[in-house]
């Protein structure tokens, strides 16, 4: 698997496996175990997915060495602020059953983000986390928080797919040396994206499915991707994107599909309150 070197020297496999909305107590463990058996070495979870324990179990029972699997998790916004974030980091470590997390992210950047970030920096220095990053930072949010940080985030995990290509924040991240992690790399299976004539033609040309063409586009754009699936054929197929390459003209044509609109707008008023009312990771 190809790797991307982050700004702190840590190397992350460019294609991984996402676990959003995969159920705990069986389904997640089974899907992660299968992804690992197909050669995947990068798993993305979050405190807010309630499946960290399943991910940890699947990795621990895989027969692979801990250092051969890259695991990302994220703190829920209920645990922002320095003291709460310290506890949140330890809660993730306990659920995963690991001594360290490879990459830990501020999942939704609202509230006392600088306090949480200080706890992240401290945990990184203590060896509890190898790399620290953020998620869902728009240009506006980035500009309000990142200048207060001592450590530049290694990644910003944002919604990114052919219909939402995030040019503005990507330019800022490129300047800062922050890697792009694309969530919803398949547009969450959006049927209109998956039936775009251009993508269907490219899939036929390369003998791939549309999902693989989309993932290949994102890989060539330099993004780190971790598509989610519970379908064994797709879990395996989504990893098979290194045996073909799109031409420069094909890349330009896919870039032109950008609508600049996605599922999630981090700048929308009331986002933090809505997220907190929908999900609480503890009382
Ligand atoms: N930081 C954040 O706020 C945030 C937000 C959302 C997601 N994420 C992370 O990013 C990961 C990926 O995003 P996502 O799960 O939202 O969406 P996604 O990976 O873009 O799409 C997943 C959907 O696409 C389907 N699918 C999978 N492979 C396919 C293929 N080859 N062709 C057609 N359809 C396919 C899946 O169905 P089947 O299961 O039936 O295959 C599922 O419905 C998440 O799992 C999570 O780890 C982070």
Model confidence pLDDT, tens digit, residues 192-211: 999 999 999 999 999 999 99
Q: What is the pLDDT of residue 207?
A: 98
The yes-or-no answer on residue 49 being catalytic is yes
pLDDT at 2 over 90: no
pLDDT at 113 over 90: yes
The rounded percent of the chain whose pLDDT value lies above 70 is 100
> What's the rounded Cα separation, in Å, for the pair 213 and 243?
11
pLDDT at 176 over 90: yes
The confidence band for 168, taking pLDDT boundaries of 50, 70 and 90, is very high
pLDDT at 189 over 80: yes
236 lines ligand 1 (CB under 6 A): no
Query: Is residue 83 a contact partner of residue 116, using CB atoms and an 8 Å limit?
Result: no
The confidence band for 25, taking pLDDT boundaries of 50, 70 and 90, is confident
Q: How far is the CA of 194 from the centre of ligand 1 (A)?
A: 13
> What's the rounded Cα separation, in Å, for the pair 106 and 194?
30
For residue range 35-90, what is the model confidence (pLDDT) as tens digits? Answer: 999 999 999 999 999 999 999 999 999 999 999 999 999 999 999 999 999 999 99
48 lines ligand 1 (CB under 6 A): no
> What's the rounded Cα separation, in Å, for the pair 96 and 98?
5
For residue range 227-249, what is the model confidence (pLDDT) as tens digits? Answer: 999 999 999 999 999 999 999 99
> Which atom from ligand 1 is nearest to the alpha carbon of 161?
20
Which candidate in 34, 49, 110, 163 is catalytic? Answer: 49
> What's the rounded Cα separation, in Å, for the pair 181 and 186?
13
Q: For 260, list phi and psi in degrees, rounded to 5.
A: 70, 20
156 lines ligand 1 (CB under 6 A): no
Per the prediction, the chain carries an average pLDDT of: 98
Q: How far is the CA of 125 from the centre of ligand 1 (A)?
A: 32
Q: How far is the CA of 227 from the centre of ligand 1 (A)?
A: 5
Q: How far is the CA of 8 from the centre of ligand 1 (A)?
A: 27
CATH topology of domain 10-276: TIM Barrel (3.20.20)
234 lines ligand 1 (CB under 6 A): yes
């Amino acid at each position: 698997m190809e790797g991307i070197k982050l700004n702190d020297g840590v190397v992350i496999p460019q294609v991984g496996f996402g676990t959003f909305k995969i159920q705990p107590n069986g389904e997640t463990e089974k899907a992660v175990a299968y992804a690992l058996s197909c050669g995947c070495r990068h798993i993305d979870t979050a405190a807010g997915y309630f499946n960290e324990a399943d991910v940890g179990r699947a990795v621990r029972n895989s027969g692979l060495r801990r250092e051969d699997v890259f695991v990302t998790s994220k703190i829920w916004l209920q645990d922002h602020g320095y003291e709460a974030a310290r506890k949140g980091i330890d809660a993730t470590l306990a659920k995963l059953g690991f001594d360290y997390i490879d990459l830990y992210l501020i999942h939704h950047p609202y509230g006392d983000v600088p306090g949480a970030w200080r706890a992240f920096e401290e945990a990184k220095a203590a060896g509890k986390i190898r790399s620290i990053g953020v998620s869902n930072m728009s240009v506006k949010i980035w500009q309000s928080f990142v200048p207060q940080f001592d450590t530049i985030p290694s990644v910003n995990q944002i919604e990114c797919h052919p219909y939402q290509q995030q040019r503005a924040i990507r330019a800022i991240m490129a300047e800062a040396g922050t890697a792009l992690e694309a969530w919803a790399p398949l547009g969450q299976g959006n049927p209109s994206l998956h039936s775009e004539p251009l993508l269907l033609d490219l899939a036929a040309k390369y003998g791939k499915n549309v999902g693989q063409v989309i993932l290949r586009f994102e890989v060539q754009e330099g993004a780190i991707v971790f598509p989610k699936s519970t379908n064994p054929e797709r879990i395996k197929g989504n990893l098979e994107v290194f045996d073909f390459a799109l031409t420069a003209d094909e890349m330009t044509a896919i870039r032109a599909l950008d609508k600049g609109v996605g599922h999630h707008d981090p700048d929308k008023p009331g986002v933090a309150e809505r997220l907190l009312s929908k999900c609480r990771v503890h009382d």
